Structure 1
Amino acid sequence: MAAQRKRNPNGAGTITKRKDGRYQAAVYVLQPDGTRARKFAYGKTWTECDAKRRELLAKVENGVPVPTKSAKLSEWLPYWLDNVIKPRRKRTTYAKYEIHVRLYLVPMLGAKRLESLSVGEVRRFLARLEKQTTAATARESHKVLRSALTAACREELITRNVVTLVEPPSVDSRDLSPWSLDETLAFLAAARGDALYAAFVLAIALGFRRGEIVGLRWEDVDLDKREIRVRKQRQRVGGELYEDDPKGRRRRQTLPLPAICVAPLRWQRMRQAALRERAGADWQESGHVFTTRTGRPVEPRNVYRSFTRVAKDAGLRVIRLHDARHGCATLLTAAGVAPRVVMEILGHSQIAITMNTYTHVVQDTQREAVSHMDRLLRKRPDRG
Structure 2
Amino acid sequence: VTKLRILAETHVIPRLGKLKLQQLRADHVDEWLDELSNDLATRTLRDVHSVLKRATRQAQARDLVLRNVAELVTTPTGKDGRPSKALTRHQADAMLKAAESSELHAYVVLSLTMGVRTEEARALRWDHVVAWIPSLKAWHPVTEAGFKHKRFAIYVWRADRIGGDTKTRKSRRTLELPKLAAEALRQHHTRQAAHKLKAGEAWQDHNLVFCTNVGTPLDAANVRRAFRHITKNAGIGTDWTPRELRHSFVSIMSDQGVPIETIADLVGHAGTSVTEAVYRHQLKPVITKGAHTMNTIFGDKPTG
Task: Sort the TM-score into its range (normalised by shorter chain).
Answer: 0.5 to 0.7
Aligned to 2:108: 200
The answer to whether residue 250 in structure 2 is matched with residue 329 in structure 1 is yes
Equivalent position of 2:97 in the other structure: 189
- Whole-angstrom distance in 1 between the partners of 2:90 and 2:183: 21
Match of 1:269 in 2: 189
Question: Does the 8 A contact of 2:129 with 2:154 survive in 1?
Answer: yes
Whole-angstrom CA distance in 2 between matches of 1:256 and 1:221: 10
- Distance, in Å, in 1 between the alignment partners of 2:205 and 2:113 is 28
Partner of 1:287: 207
Query: CA 1:271/1:183 → structure 2, altered by over 3 Å: closer, same or farther?
Result: same
Deviation of 1:170 after TM superposition, in Å, equals 5.0
Find out whether 1:221 has 2:132 as its counterpart: no
Deviations 1:213-255 (A, max 9, x none): 3332212222333232242428xxxxxxxx8635622796133
For 2:200 and 2:62, locate their aligned partners in 1 and report how far apart those are by CA, in whole Å. Answer: 57
In structure 2, the partner of 1:56 is none
Give the one of 134, 137, 146 matched to 2:40: 134
1:98 equivalent in alignment to 2:8: yes
Contact kept in structure 2, 1:108 and 1:125, CA below 8 Å? no
1:322 maps to amino acid: R
The AA in structure 2 aligned to 1:321 is: P
Residue 320 (str. 1) matches residue 241 (str. 2): yes
Counterparts of 2:15 and 2:266, CA distance in 1: 37
Indicate the SS of the match to 1:228.
Answer: strand
Instruction: Report the secondary structure of 1:327's partner residue.
Output: helix
Ranges in structure 1 where 5+ consecutive residues have no aligned partner: 1-90, 235-242
Q: Could you report, residue by residue, the CA deviation over 1:28-81 in whole angstroms, capped at 9, with x for unpaired residues?
A: xxxxxxxxxxxxxxxxxxxxxxxxxxxxxxxxxxxxxxxxxxxxxxxxxxxxxx
Secondary structure at the counterpart of residue 209 of structure 2: coil
Q: Distance in 1 between matches of 2:262 and 2:67?
A: 43
Which residue among 72, 77, 87 is the counterpart of 1:179? 87
Q: Residue by residue, what CA displacement relative to the aligned partner does 1:92-151 show, whole Å, maximum 9, x if unpaired?
A: 4543563454345656794457xxx66x776555324324x4353434334445667889
Question: Does structure 1 conserve the Cα–Cα contact (< 8 Å) formed by 2:33 and 2:75?
Answer: no
Aligned equivalents of 2:35, 2:222: Cα separation in 1: 37
Q: Is the 8 A contact 1:146 1:164 kept in 2?
A: no
Change (3 A) 1:94 1:126: closer
Query: Which one has more relative contact order, counting CA pairs under 8 Å at least 6 apart?
Result: 2
SS at match of 2:236: coil
Q: Which amino acid letter does the alignment assign opposite residue 326 of structure 1?
A: H
Verify the 8 A CA contact 1:334 1:365 in the aligned structure 2. Answer: no
**Cα 1:347–1:284 shift into 2, 3 Å:** same
Distance 1:222 1:140, change over 3 A: same
How far apart, in 2, do the equivalents of 1:152 and 1:302 lie?
35
Identity of paired residues, percent?
A: 25
Aligned residue for 1:185, secondary structure, equals: helix
Deviations for 1:333-368, whole angstroms, at most 9, x for unmatched residues?
444445555455445688665433322234x42465
* 8 Å contact kept, 2:8–2:51: no
- Report the CA distance between 1:184 and its aligned residue: 0.8
Find the aligned partners of 2:203 and 2:75 in 1 and give their Cα distance: 55
TM-score by length of 2: 0.67
Bigger Rg, structure 1 or 2: 1
Are the counterparts in 2 of residues 285 and 296 from structure 1 also a CA contact under 8 Å?
yes
Flag structure 2 segments of 5+ consecutive residues without an equivalent.
Answer: 133-138, 140-152
Tell me, yes or no, if the aligned pair for 1:190 and 1:314 is still in contact at 8 Å: yes
Aligned pair in 2 of structure 1 residues 107, 178: CA closer, same or farther (>3 Å)? farther
Call closer, same or farther: CA 1:302–1:174 in 2, change over 3 Å: closer
Change (3 A) 1:378 1:197: same
Aligned partner letter, 2:185:
L
188-197 or 370-379, which deviates more:
370-379
TM-fit CA distance, 1:169: 0.9
Q: Secondary structure at the residue paired with 1:359?
A: coil
Q: Deviation at 1:203?
A: 1.8
* 1:162–1:178 distance in 2 versus 1, CA, 3 Å: same
What TM-score, normalized by structure 1, do the two folds share? 0.55
Aligned to 2:142: none
- Counterpart of 1:95, as a letter, is R
| Cα pair 1:207 1:346 within 8 Å, conserved | yes
Q: Compute the displacement of 1:283 (Å).
A: 4.4
How many residue pairs are counted as aligned between the two chains? Answer: 277
Please tell me whether the aligned partners of residues 139 and 170 of structure 1 are also in contact (alpha carbons under 8 angstroms): no
- Residue identity opposite 2:156 in structure 1: R
Does residue 231 (structure 1) correspond to residue 140 (structure 2)? The answer is no
Distance 1:124 1:281, change over 3 A: closer
RMSD value, Cα: 4.3
